[in-house]
A and B are shown apart, each in its own frame.
Chain A
Amino acid sequence: MDWFTEFPELGRRDLRDFRKSIDQGFKDFTRTYGEDIESFFEPLLQFLIWLEKLLLATPWPLFIVAVAALAWFASRSLRVVVGSAVSLFLIGFLGMWEDTMSTVSIIVVCTILCIGLGLPVGIVMSRSDRAQSVVTPILDIMQTIPSFVYLIPVVMLLGIGKVPGLIAVVIYAIPPMIRLTNLGIRLVDKEVLEAADAFGASPWQKLVRVQIPLALPNIFAGVNQTIMMSLAMVVIASMIGVTGLGQPVLKAISNQYLAMGLLNGLAIVALAIIFDRISQSYGKRLQSHRGGQDE
């Protein structure tokens, strides 16, 4: 009855060999293609560095005014404008301006990447049930796998630095963008689509003039989620060399600096709230026609 009480494990040596061969395989892959992959991401790195420098070179009042203007354009709400400006000022006042600019730049690049990659994937997914059944489990894995696990191969491949951090953030933050694009397009009223067909719209005309505009509120919810999730990854990304508000938090953990951790953590929260209110209220304004009131 041995087999009943003892689990039929792989032998210890076999298991070790198994893991070793995977590690070896990936190491070989890294050696062969590592440089090519690195140079592939070079433009991205340059863009990120350029943006970070630009933000850092921007005089602080100009930046606050720009954010306030963006907030006004998106929400037409004085509360959001004043809230954004005051919290940005406080962040700077408490000595976190430079880290905040680094974080903002990586969030912006990450959001652009997520939209650029997620939107087409979501569209493809919405147009074919087969694509949906392939992509959905991949998204499930991306969202549930502990981020440290995919940090390992990314670091093995690209070393420590901004680009691997960016990739890690994108992996974590892109699923809601894809999911909500897919959902939004699938939720478009069947009758409106039938009308488009009846008037002879081509698939492209349907996509651009009917499906995407009508899915926009959902797509915007996806953008909003993506921004929130990439902010949540900032601390973890700082472990592999991404500069920004995450690094002081990391330092605070290892040295038990309570105030430092708290302040930088709150700065991340403040950024999150500013991004959230701006993108959400813009998303809401997009659907003002549904409520029936004048804009």
Chain B
Amino acid sequence: MSDPETKIEIKRLFKIFGDQPESMLEKVREGVSKDELNDQHNHVLGLSDINLKIRAKGIQVVMGLSGSGKSTLIRHINRLIEPTVGEVWIDSENVLEMDEKTLRDFRRNRASMVFQRFALLPHRTVMENTIYGLEIQGMAEKDAEKQAAHWIERVGLAGYEENFPGQLSGGMQQRVGLARALATDADILLMDEAFSALDPLIRTDMQNILLDLQQELHKTIVFITHDLEEALRIGDQIAILRDGQVVQQGTPQQIVLKPKDDYIADFTKDINRGRVIQLKTIMKVPNDKPGPELSAEMLVEDAAQLVTESPSSQARVTNDSGDVVGVVGINDLIRAMARPDIESRLEEL
């Protein structure tokens, strides 16, 4: 692959469910809608012309409501689902051209997966679940347990090794799921609505664990969710899926600040923008006035608090090497956090 930063590239991927998906392909390419295909031709359009480049060592979120095809999409990456047509390139290999054995090796060593409803083996303990992937790789039990113990500790489950999944809460079960996926040392991590089944508080907990781990592991993570807050919080890149098509791709800020259409705007309007927008996005030309020096990547919400607590009414924005590159006033911060529809209503007054 030409671009060294791209880890996974999905090209012209179509998935149609039904008896004769190939024969429907032409119709879909001509622009027959999902509803029409369903009502008149009795086929379900799963994915339509997906083109997606996923960067190495980042978290790519795929967001969409139920039925948008997001779970179908992630299952194409490790080929749990066969596409109707298309290509899935990982490094320089097309997953869809792998033979059975190569595919198995790929799944064993290079891509692991975390599932929405955990999918743990109920008859095995936490330890036995965590070594599952290593066992399939053929690792000796002693080495596997040593490796697994490390990951069990990293996800905060030390002391629970001998418990069965049925004895653990949902959040703890998903920690096992995460440890099992991390233990195989694959550099791609596929997470299918991994935190969606958890309570809000525990979900935030798990997001923190994931972000912490990612800080040092730098895996390529594909994360599926239906929750925009979650998408904005953990995603380096977000792709929004609707009716099997990618509607918009971009960073969290791009999605919030420049929604491509009303559908996405509708999603983003209730979002706490202060937790998404960074200072560098709203900063102005530097001036001489004093103020606390804050990083350009700091979120507006955090900056607002710091500026309010400081004697001055503005903050000086610095880049990675500590140079002042701009300033942000307290009013800019408040304006950035306001909901867009309220903003426009104020203008009308």
Contact = CB atoms under 8 A, between A and B. Distances in A.
B167 interface: yes
Nearest to A290: B166
A289 interface: yes
B119 A189 contact: yes
Interface string A183-222: 0000001011011011111100100011001101000000
B166 A292 contact: yes
B123 A213 contact: yes
B80 interface: yes
Contacts of A200: 103-109, 133, 136-137
Contacts of B121: 192, 209-210, 213-214
A146 interface: no
B119 A192 contact: yes
A291 interface: yes
Given A213-B123, A214-B123, A199 B117 contact: no
A198 B136 contact: no
Nearest to A286: B123
B106 A191 contact: no
Contacts of A210: 121
Given A194-B80, A197-B80, A202-B104, A291 B166 contact: yes
Interface residues of B, number: 30
A292 B122 CA distance: 10
Contact of A199 (B123, B132, B165, B166): B132
A277 to B, nearest CB: 23
Contacts of B167: 289, 292-294
A202 B119 CA distance: 17
B17 interface: no
Contact of A209 (B108, B115, B135): B135
Interface residues of A, number: 23
A39 B290 CA distance: 104
B318 interface: no
Contacts of A198: 78, 80, 107, 112-113, 115, 190
A201 B107 CA distance: 9
- Name which of A189, A194, A198 has the most chain B CB atoms within 10 A of its CB: A198
Nearest to A294: B167
A262 B80 CA distance: 61
A199 B113 contact: yes
B184 interface: yes
A39 B262 CA distance: 82
A145 B105 CA distance: 50
B164 interface: yes
Given A198-B107, A201-B136, A191 B123 contact: no
Given A199-B107, A200-B104, A289 B122 contact: yes
Interface in A262-295: 289-294
Contact of B166 (A197, A213, A289): A289
Nearest to B190: A198
17 contacts: A189-B119, A191-B119, A192-B119, A198-B78, A198-B80, A199-B108, A199-B184, A200-B104, A200-B105, A200-B109, A201-B136, A213-B123, A214-B121, A289-B123, A289-B164, A290-B166, A294-B167
Interface of A: 189, 191-192, 194-195, 197-202, 205, 209-210, 213-214, 216, 289-294
Given A194-B115, A198-B78, 5 more contacts: A192-B119, A195-B119, A198-B112, A199-B136, A293-B167
